[in-house]
A = this chain, B = another copy of it.
Amino acid sequence: MTDSTYISANVSYSSIEKPPFRVVSVGSGNWGTCVAKIIAENTRENPLLFERQVKMWVYEEDYNGEKLTEYINTNHLNEKYLPGIQLPDNLVAIPDLLEAVKDANIIVFNVPHQFLEGILKQLKGNINPKARAISCLKGLRVYQDKVELLTDIISQELGIHCGCLAGANLASEVAEQKFSETTIAYPIPDDYCSGDVDPTVLYTMFHRPYFHVHIIEDIAGVSIAGALKNIIAIGVGFVDGLQWGENAKASIMRRGLLEMIKFGQKFFPTSKVSTFCEESAGVADLFTTCTGGRNFKLAQRMAQTGKSAAEVEVDLLNGQSAQGLITAKEIHHLIKNKAYLDEFPLFETTYQILFHGVSIGILPYMLENKWSISKPNYSS
């Protein structure tokens, strides 16, 4: 089917009734552009449900002497952040944030963590109050004595219902339409009314033959897995760097999975074991994260060279930070303040190795017998 088929379908239906959903992607980095591409592929195939045009807010910058939004809209390519990937022509880059979100009733967030707060401030009071949101940001906001879900922060700031999307989704592979799966967590909101965003709408918006969507309700489970996997990848990188082999790597992943589940049960008792064990955002994302990526490589290099985390960050990451390093520190303070240190031996030992020069060789001894202290409750 060519794109023109959809145009005519759209025109013929839109003369009767406008499609109910208008989607904007807030964010246009590597993963942001990739997800916006998926959505645009689906909106043009489903003209009864979605407005064909998908808007993508792009932080305006210069690209080879041209404005990035103009380059994207002229060439249907985002060479800066997703090079070589042809974008659908119904995906339109917009430099003005408020103009981009103006008519949207589905807002997809896909910006770096550190920009979220500023963006929410700009959006506050300037969006459709009945809009629904999906966050593609990974993780949690961790304080000294509590944890918040990023989706809750979005909800509270904007007063709109927000779900999340995560999975074993290396952006470059998804962009090339290699097969993968993802998880969307979207509980039906209390103020749901007929014709509202529901699992069918989200499935139609995100599912592709190469990108399989599974929809659940457990936002907390998806968010926890997305944050804690980075600490586990560091543990796996350590034992890989010491050439302890595949058995040891598998044991660290397994122990990490158990500590993820435990963390969920401690801090978000409604989180489900099945999210961690069954979902792409759980066990599958853990697999991919532990086979490569920035956190794994930082730890691997520390083990190989005996250098500190700070030294390796300079060498390997040009001084950029690995997310798992930050998360390991935040989680350490949290579980220490809550007196849970003994129950997360992998997370705690990883922190001690990263920040206090503890030997990696101590890992097996730290893990020994600790888990038996309190096992997860499998009935939840």
Which A residues lie at the B interface, using CB under 8 A?
A: 167-170, 173-174, 178-181, 209-210, 212, 214, 239, 244-251, 253-254, 257-258, 272-274, 276-280, 283-285, 287-288, 291-292, 363-365, 367-368, 371, 376, 378-379
Contacts and interface: CB of A to CB of B under 8 A. Distances in A.
Contacts of A168: 246-247, 250-251, 254
Contact of A251 (B212, B250, B272): B212
19 contacts: A168-B251, A168-B254, A170-B245, A179-B364, A180-B248, A180-B251, A181-B254, A212-B251, A212-B368, A246-B287, A250-B285, A250-B288, A251-B284, A254-B283, A254-B284, A257-B277, A273-B378, A274-B378, A287-B287
Contacts of A292: 246
Contacts of A209: 364-365, 368
Nearest to A285: B250
Query: Interface on chain A toward B: helix, strand, loop, or mixed SS?
Result: helix
B179 A244 contact: yes
Contacts of A276: 277
A369 to B, nearest CB: 9
Contact of A247 (B178, B254, B274, B379): B178
A367 B280 CA distance: 14
Contacts of A283: 253-254, 257, 277, 283
* Residue from A273, A276, A284 with most neighbouring chain B CB atoms (10 Å): A284
A343 to B, nearest CB: 15
Given A212-B364, A367-B212, A378-B273, A178 B248 contact: yes
